[in-house]
């Protein structure tokens, strides 16, 4: 587990770009945090780092958006699971089909999509309790063999600069 303090939206996108450098096809990333915590902002940075087509915006009303790579890398599948009740609803999205060739990022996925892969990265974002404060604490929690490389320590260190 790695924890980093992120003071601004720009730094949150930078964290996403740094994390994207470590992602590859087949990776599952679960984002959790309250409304306005920065989940979509982090995903924008992931999209920039993965060099995908299209503006990364919240998929709340469409549930999932696919952003193809512009440079031959994996596509980014961005899912908002807020209105979904569990893995049965997620199966309708065919994420298990997309996962091997894409990076799948699921907002609000905790308790719903963990069974898609034993190897996953959970990213928990907590806002400061101070009104108007943009400071967030981001915790990166790796699960499975895939994430035992030590790369997350480097991502967290780079984001803390």
The DSSP code sequence of 77-136 is EEEE-TT--SHHHHHTTTHHHHGGGEEEEEET-TTTSGGG-SSEEEEEEEE-SSTT---E
User: Domain map of the chain by residue range?
Assistant: 2-159
Q: Does domain 2-159 have CATH number 3.40.50.300?
A: yes
Q: What is the mean pLDDT of each run of 10 residues along the chain (161 residues)?
A: 92 95 94 92 96 84 81 91 66 63 88 82 88 84 88 80 62
Q: What is the pTM of this model?
A: 0.88
Identify the pLDDT of residue 155: 85
Identify the pLDDT of residue 93: 60
């Amino acid at each position: 587990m790695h924890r980093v303090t992120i003071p601004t939206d720009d730094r949150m996108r930078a964290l996403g770009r740094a994390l994207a450098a470590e992602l590859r096809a087949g990776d599952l990333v679960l984002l959790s945090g309250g409304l306005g915590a920065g989940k979509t902002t982090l995903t924008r940075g992931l999209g920039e780092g993965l060099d995908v087509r299209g503006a990364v915006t919240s998929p709340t009303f469409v549930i999932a958006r696919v952003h193809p790579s512009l440079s031959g890398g994996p596509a980014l599948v961005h899912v908002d699971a807020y209105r979904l009740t569990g893995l049965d609803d997620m199966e309708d999205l065919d994420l298990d089909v997309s996962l091997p060739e894409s990076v799948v990022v699921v907002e609000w996925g905790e308790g719903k999509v963990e069974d898609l892969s034993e190897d996953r990265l959970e990213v928990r974002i907590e806002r400061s309790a101070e009104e108007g404060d943009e400071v967030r604490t981001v915790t990166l929690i790796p699960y499975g063999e895939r994430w035992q490389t030590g790369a997350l320590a480097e991502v967290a260190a780079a984001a803390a600069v």
